[in-house]
Structure 1
Amino acid sequence: MSISQSLIEEVQEKHPSFPVEPLKRAFELANRSHGEQKRRSGEPYIIHPVEVVRILLQMRVDLPSLIAGLLHDTVEDTFLSLEEIEQSFGKEVSFLVDGVTKLSKLSFRSKHTAQAENFRKMIMAMGRDVRVILIKLADRLHNMRTLQHMPPTKQQEIASETEEVYAPLAHRLGINWVKTELQDLSLRYLKPDVYFKLVELVAQSRAGREKYIQEISKVTSERLDEAGFGQYEIQGRPKHFYSIYKKMEKAQLTFEEIHDLLAVRIVCEDIRSCYQSLGILHSMWKPVPGRFKDYIAMPKANLYQSLHTTVIGPGGQRVEFQIRTFEMHRIAEEGIAAHWTYKEDGSVVAKDAEKFSWIRKLVEDQEAVEDPSEFMSSLKIDLFEEEVFVFTPRGDVISLPRKSCPVDFAYSIHSAVGERCVGAKVNGRLVPLRHQLESGDHIEIITSESQFPRKDWLDFCVTSKARSKIRAYVKKAQRDQSKDLGLKLLDREFRKSKFNFSRLVKEEREKFEEAVRSIGAANEEDLLIKVGYGKITAEEAFKAVMKSLHPEGAEAETASQEQDLVAATKFKTKSGPDSSPIIVDGVDNILVRFARCCQPIPGEAIVGFVSRGKGISVHRADCSKALELDPARKFDLTWDPKKGQDFPVSIKVTTMDRPGMLADISQVISAQGANISNARVQLLPNQRASIIFDLKIQNLSQVRLLISKIEAIEGVIHAERH
């Protein structure tokens, strides 16, 4: 029997109503397009798309998906075009094939960037039609099954990508059997020694486990019959190798120390029977504290529902039980396919699409992420299997990734809530914004109209929605700030030569924009921003404009400025115990003074500016006032690691106004070895207070540790450098 005929018979057996003719044409086109191409195994290439279709049949997909499965590699690996596919099979199949085709025709800065952009394309296509990701999962699963034919480095790369992205995607779609096989195959190539040792150990203990499960299933069945249960099934549930390995790794246990390898599933008629059987199990055997989870009342994001409990069974053995209805079991096994009802055009019926609204949310959150590294990082977090379930003040359940904080929660409610978030109460207790949420927490967000997103929130926020919104706000704020600063710097530079910058631009717009393009700026706004960021100096811009508009202005040199610079550099060095902790161009003991505007401390990037008769003024590299100073007077500085002394730093603490708060904070500051030189308290609305501490600190690490300690005090909302 030919490959084509065998495949057609398998399709007809599962889907008698599917027309055969389009499948035959798709097979012939794929076979003709791949021609003499071979897999690494030496097999004809057509074997791969056929196996992909067989996997898709297990997922219960529709006819267009099967056709796209046969053609999924043709555009990427052969001369067949999407237009030809559309002509033969329609736009629907063409879209599905395009969704799984890599962006191989484009060039990228790096392999990492190419990987991120290919995933972005796939995720965006998935947002329009989830069948795209099912075809990609089937493709990846067959590739993992035949990975032994690839070089070792490629095996590691593909297995790592599978573990981090594809297996979590299968989990989120509820296709448990695909997730399980992808994880086990990933482990096989990422940690082969661990994998094959587990295979050996599990095989050695299989007979004993199966006998024990038969016994416990028999006892359980007898008790359920006594209680008058109707239809039910009791099944042994084998644990897969990846889950065993993760349990060993997390708890630092050996295989012999894992006591809950035994797992049993009870499938009942209805929800009432599920809870009744749970009560019977707990009356028969003692439940293990902390191991009960009710996913019936609070389903997972992929709609998975079951009761989970672990009991101490006969002989002191731990046994895991899953209890669910027949419908829940079907959903757990089939995942998203259990909810499918297709219209004539192949789109998902609205009521089913709503059940997987997380797909739309995932796409929306990822659309705002521009940086490839940030995209891959946020995608992995959003797909991560572990979740926490927390409650809003109204009792609604919100699902968030593990390690989420109140700011993540606030943004999940609404972007406006996240932007105005100043504090949070968790279970009635005020917590810092960096507090990590746990399942069961009740969250109340405190907002203020005067609050805006802060850059340091990126240090503890994990959800892509929160991070992308914060980044977008910070980027816009920095851009606006740089634009204003650029205008000030250019105004000052042009005034030195008696020119009005704004008037000159208005009167000579065309020549001006031609001049600024010569130094790498697109237009006036771009010039302002680049000058503000320091990418173009105001002096460079002045010379370029003068060269184009007023050649005589470009040649005019300010001799007095040169004399000032020479005079200013003739400063004295210091020596002795109080010598400078700054090294200037490799020379130490230089006369310096530290800027009050930014209070630089060791550990921070710094720059210096010459001041006549006063030596060098030291600023933080990101100080806004430093950006306004003349670049010609700038020196590169470094900290002298051999010199240690105290530096002035101000820390602003926002707190709830309660008795003893000032004393509590002062005690923490003292315990961290910092000296308080002054403290200023200001009362704020909503029973809050702002306290500014002027301290003596040794370095940046001490400041960061101190801020984290202060934020851990009950009633402290936020602490930051002032």
Structure 2
Amino acid sequence: MENQIELVQSEKIEIRNNYRSLLRACKNILSNEDVTEVRKAIEMALQRKKEYRRPSGKLSAIHSLEVANIVASEIGLGRTSIICALLYDVVQHEDVEKHEIAEIFGKNVEDIVSGLIKVKELYTKDTSIESENFRKLLLTFAQDVRVILIILADRLETMRSLNLYAPEAQQKIASEVGYLYAPMAHRLGLYAIKSEMEDGVMKYTNREMYSYIAKKLNETKRAREKYIKDFIEPIKNELDSIGLKFDIKGRTKTIHSIHNKMKKQNTPFEKVFDLFAIRVILDSKEKDEKPDCWKVYSIVTDKYQPNPSRLRDWLSIPKSNGYESLHTTVLGPEKKWVEVQIRSHRMNEVAEKGLAAHWKYKGGSGEKGMDQWLANIREVLENPERNAVDFIDDFKLNLYDEEVFVFTPKGELRRLPKGATVLDFAFDIHSGVGKQCIGAKVDGKHASIKQELKNGNHIEVVTSKTQEPRAEWLNVVVTSRAKSKLKQALKDLQYKESEFGKETLVRRLKNWKIELTDQLVHQLVKHFKSKSINDFFREIALGTVDISGVKDFVQSQEKKDTEKNQEAVAQLKSATNFVANVDEEIANDDDVLRIDKNLSNVDYSLAKCCNPIFGDGIFGFVSVTSGIKIHRNNCPNAPEMRSKFGYRIVSAEWTTGSSANFQATLKVTGSDDIGIVSNISQVITKDLKLKMRSISIDSQEGSFEGTVTVFVNDTSMLDLLIKKIKNVKGIYNVSRIDSAN
């Protein structure tokens, strides 16, 4: 922990200004009672045991206040979210315990703070989001939408302070925000935050182009402002004449969106004409909003020629994130195309603040709503069969996609991403419908499962009980839900085929008086070059592997085994002579075989069944074909070897010259916390500087059990390693096991 930090005068002023700004914002959206609780949380955020600085050098307390300000002012969230934004950093630094937070502010605050801390832990461990932790990150998000919104506020404040970070950190943070958080802000309807993030990302990842466009915008600012004024004037006069209350202004498009247009149209800055949009915001009552918007549309298109293909009506059917607006593109003065956006003040606030504002106007508290999208994301996340790379691909599909709106036969409205097919629609209805889909009637006409859907389609899915999912369907569907359900269905189908193949093989082998043992199964998989046991049984079911070929293989193996037994009898006779030679080799040294690098004339190796290490009590066992195997005294096979083959046992011990790298396997159990694998790995490779061969973790219901295989010099080093891993937070037990196999 750092020593207490001395605050400079400018930091004291910054804290005071943020404090006052937050209280002003809270008074506009919260009750007096809630404001009192927020004030209490602010005091806890400021009265820390010790103050901390972020990697940027900024005080953590200032960062927390600024994030809370964004949560309150720019996203419009309520009491719980503001308190969580203030306190999660305090709890993370253990200045306040989580149970204290629950006692003062309620269990809801504690749960959200816990989710926020899990996300922050991923960052402190320098974890790439392009890994399995990406799934954990989003699963944390999807538990409560407020976790997403607060983290978005945190990332936005970080982007605003990015000039204070080191260049390497700037690149990492900007890339992450562009990859995940800006698309997520877009999906949640936070367009102001999304736009600021995108511009910030470009500023630090493509600074040269960012500066070029910013300079060009500045050079053309005066001409642009004059054009906007000339464009607006006749519309403004007409709207005044019919008595509408409104604001109308021109808004220059973001540097990021202008750059995208330059790339998409393959044109220089000078040839990009739609550098700005005109926005008309009406002060209308909710019941008059739509008629008033269409009145404005009529006036705009009377004055300027519209482009019919560019009309976007999100009044009749809003976007799934709550966005409502009417967009049109018209031909303005100097033959320039101009985008006009028409909406009410309520719609504009929803457009700027996304879901939080949408819930507020729907009469909710803003703290209880959950977008259906989040439910779908949870469903995809919680499928344990998905690997991280596939998941990221599927998740990204649904972030920026435009939507199509289609109807069921009963008139129920369904939203799907642009490019969705009949098969996507079938899986959206129910996974059982999707699995048995053979086509559909789209607007009364027969359509294949591949047909793309268009706005307004009425769809009736056609199914068949004999239809089964096919692997090629993965190239037909585009939604995460359909892909996830289809992959699971294919896996279930393959399992059924595998079971059928196994039953068929067992029945045929029984007729031939042959037992299907595990050893035989592995031999067959290897012989027929199958990828796995399940694949081998599926190949039997599908006829790819001929069962008569299995019989031929078994008979050839039996013949080989007979020949091997005859050889073994001869080798056993020579084993006695070998033992005698060993006895003679060690007879001059107290009848003890000393294991070191200088031992000659004796063929020995370390047994893999118990992996002896320098320092273990050991003995030698004379094998028939592989010389002497060195075993631990407590090897699980020792009792049988001593009782049945006592004449082959040779006393043995280590010498100081035998120390080398020995393989050891540990069994580790603990709680399934984020970063536990990283902590174990750090103890092994960084703290003790040991080489790690493998680590395997199996998680279940909040706990995990795993094995770690390492190379050590001796048992004392192994004992130290066990002790160190036991001290890792969240570890229940560590013990040595005989083998990783």
- On whether the aligned pair clears a TM of 0.5, the verdict is yes
Contact 1:422 1:447 in 2 (8 A): yes
1:326 is aligned to 2:345: yes
Q: Secondary structure at the match of 1:304?
A: coil
Contact 2:77 2:367 in 1 (8 A): no
Structure-to-structure mapping, 1:285-434, within 5 angstroms: 285-340=304-359, 348=367, 353=369, 356-368=371-383, 370-393=386-409, 396-426=412-442, 430-434=446-450
Q: Secondary structure at the match of 2:220?
A: helix
CA displacement 1:546-583 (0-9 Å, x = unmatched): xxxxxxxx9x96117999xxxxxxxxxxxxxxxxxxxx
* Corresponding residue to 1:265 among 261, 279, 284: 279
Post-superposition shift, 1:30?
Answer: 4.0
Cα gap change, 1:393/1:437 in structure 2, threshold over 3 Å: closer, same or farther? same
Structure-to-structure mapping, 1:213-612, within 5 angstroms: 213-226=228-241, 228-268=242-282, 269=284, 270=288, 271-340=290-359, 348=367, 353=369, 356-368=371-383, 370-393=386-409, 396-426=412-442, 430-489=446-505, 498=513, 531-534=533-536, 558-559=558-559
Task: Give the whole-Å Cα distance in 2 for the aligned partners of 1:256 and 1:289.
Answer: 25
Greater mean alpha carbon deviation, residues 442-451 or residues 2-11: 2-11
1:172 is aligned to 2:190: no
Task: Give the whole-Å Cα distance in 2 for the aligned partners of 1:205 and 1:499.
Answer: 87
Cα gap change, 1:158/1:427 in structure 2, threshold over 3 Å: closer, same or farther? farther
Q: Secondary structure at the match of 1:263?
A: strand
* Corresponding residue to 2:134 among 104, 116, 130: 116
Task: Give the whole-Å Cα distance in 2 for the aligned partners of 1:537 and 1:392.
Answer: 40
Task: Give the whole-Å Cα distance in 1 for the aligned partners of 2:514 and 2:217.
Answer: 83
Post-superposition shift, 1:381?
Answer: 1.6
Q: Secondary structure at the match of 1:260?
A: coil
CA displacement 1:674-716 (0-9 Å, x = unmatched): xxxxxxxxxxxxxxxxxxxxxxxxxxxxxxxxxxxxxxxxxxx
Post-superposition shift, 1:234?
Answer: 1.5
Task: Give the whole-Å Cα distance in 1 for the aligned partners of 2:205 and 2:247.
Answer: 37
Post-superposition shift, 1:136?
Answer: 0.9
Counterpart code for 1:315: E
Post-superposition shift, 1:315?
Answer: 2.0
Post-superposition shift, 1:460?
Answer: 2.9
Post-superposition shift, 1:346?
Answer: 7.3
* Corresponding residue to 1:9 among 15, 20, 35: 20
Q: Secondary structure at the match of 1:297?
A: coil
Contact 1:401 1:463 in 2 (8 A): yes
Counterpart code for 2:270: E
Task: Give the whole-Å Cα distance in 2 for the aligned partners of 1:292 and 1:342.
Answer: 26
Task: Give the whole-Å Cα distance in 1 for the aligned partners of 2:470 and 2:131.
Answer: 27
Task: Give the whole-Å Cα distance in 1 for the aligned partners of 2:129 and 2:562.
Answer: 49
Post-superposition shift, 1:487?
Answer: 4.2
Contact 1:164 1:380 in 2 (8 A): no
Task: Give the whole-Å Cα distance in 2 for the aligned partners of 1:537 and 1:260.
Answer: 60
Counterpart code for 1:284: K
Cα gap change, 1:289/1:412 in structure 2, threshold over 3 Å: closer, same or farther? same
Cα gap change, 1:279/1:450 in structure 2, threshold over 3 Å: closer, same or farther? same
Cα gap change, 1:159/1:408 in structure 2, threshold over 3 Å: closer, same or farther? farther
Counterpart code for 2:357: A
Cα gap change, 1:195/1:396 in structure 2, threshold over 3 Å: closer, same or farther? farther
Cα gap change, 1:115/1:155 in structure 2, threshold over 3 Å: closer, same or farther? farther
Partner of 1:155: 170
Post-superposition shift, 1:41?
Answer: 2.6
Cα gap change, 1:67/1:225 in structure 2, threshold over 3 Å: closer, same or farther? closer
Task: Give the whole-Å Cα distance in 1 for the aligned partners of 2:332 and 2:449.
Answer: 43
* Corresponding residue to 1:188 among 200, 203, 214: 203
CA displacement 1:516-540 (0-9 Å, x = unmatched): 9x99xxxxxxxxx9633359999xx
Query: What TM-score do the two structures reach when normalised by structure 2?
Result: 0.63
Task: Give the whole-Å Cα distance in 2 for the aligned partners of 1:211 and 1:307.
Answer: 25
CA displacement 1:13-50 (0-9 Å, x = unmatched): 23332556644553454456583432233222322212
Counterpart code for 1:215: D
Post-superposition shift, 1:313?
Answer: 1.1
Greater mean alpha carbon deviation, residues 82-91 or residues 205-214: 82-91
Partner of 1:145: 160
Greater mean alpha carbon deviation, residues 106-115 or residues 87-96: 106-115
Structure-to-structure mapping, 1:127-138, within 5 angstroms: 130-138=145-153
Counterpart code for 1:40: P
Cα gap change, 1:208/1:24 in structure 2, threshold over 3 Å: closer, same or farther? same
Post-superposition shift, 1:218?
Answer: 1.4
Partner of 1:526: none
Q: Secondary structure at the match of 2:273?
A: coil
CA displacement 1:478-512 (0-9 Å, x = unmatched): 1222233234445666776x4556xx9xxxxxxx9
Contact 1:260 1:320 in 2 (8 A): yes
Post-superposition shift, 1:451?
Answer: 1.5
Task: Give the whole-Å Cα distance in 2 for the aligned partners of 1:109 and 1:200.
Answer: 37
Contact 2:22 2:65 in 1 (8 A): no
Partner of 1:197: 212
Partner of 1:211: 226
Cα gap change, 1:158/1:440 in structure 2, threshold over 3 Å: closer, same or farther? farther
Cα gap change, 1:122/1:216 in structure 2, threshold over 3 Å: closer, same or farther? same
Cα gap change, 1:220/1:241 in structure 2, threshold over 3 Å: closer, same or farther? same
CA displacement 1:305-347 (0-9 Å, x = unmatched): 111111111221211111122322232233222244599x978
Task: Give the whole-Å Cα distance in 2 for the aligned partners of 1:34 and 1:381.
Answer: 45
Counterpart code for 1:533: D
Task: Give the whole-Å Cα distance in 2 for the aligned partners of 1:422 and 1:536.
Answer: 25
Post-superposition shift, 1:205?
Answer: 1.2
Counterpart code for 1:293: R
Q: Give the structure with higher Rg (CA).
A: 2
Contact 1:34 1:46 in 2 (8 A): no
Contact 1:293 1:307 in 2 (8 A): yes
Task: Give the whole-Å Cα distance in 2 for the aligned partners of 1:68 and 1:490.
Answer: 61
Post-superposition shift, 1:431?
Answer: 4.6
Task: Give the whole-Å Cα distance in 2 for the aligned partners of 1:32 and 1:535.
Answer: 66
Post-superposition shift, 1:217?
Answer: 1.4
The percent identity for this pair of structures is 34
Q: Secondary structure at the match of 1:383?
A: coil
Cα gap change, 1:471/1:494 in structure 2, threshold over 3 Å: closer, same or farther? same
Structure-to-structure mapping, 1:25-174, within 5 angstroms: 25-31=40-46, 35-58=50-73, 59-76=75-92, 81-102=97-118, 104=121, 112-126=130-144, 130-174=145-189
Task: Give the whole-Å Cα distance in 1 for the aligned partners of 2:538 and 2:325.
Answer: 61
Contact 2:18 2:62 in 1 (8 A): no
Task: Give the whole-Å Cα distance in 2 for the aligned partners of 1:306 and 1:347.
Answer: 21
Query: What TM-score do the two structures reach when normalised by structure 1?
Result: 0.64
Greater mean alpha carbon deviation, residues 382-391 or residues 107-116: 107-116
Contact 1:34 1:74 in 2 (8 A): no
Cα gap change, 1:499/1:77 in structure 2, threshold over 3 Å: closer, same or farther? farther
Cα gap change, 1:332/1:279 in structure 2, threshold over 3 Å: closer, same or farther? same
Task: Give the whole-Å Cα distance in 2 for the aligned partners of 1:395 and 1:416.
Answer: 21
Partner of 2:630: none
Counterpart code for 1:382: N
Task: Give the whole-Å Cα distance in 2 for the aligned partners of 1:413 and 1:277.
Answer: 38
CA displacement 1:202-237 (0-9 Å, x = unmatched): 1111111111111221111112234x2332221222
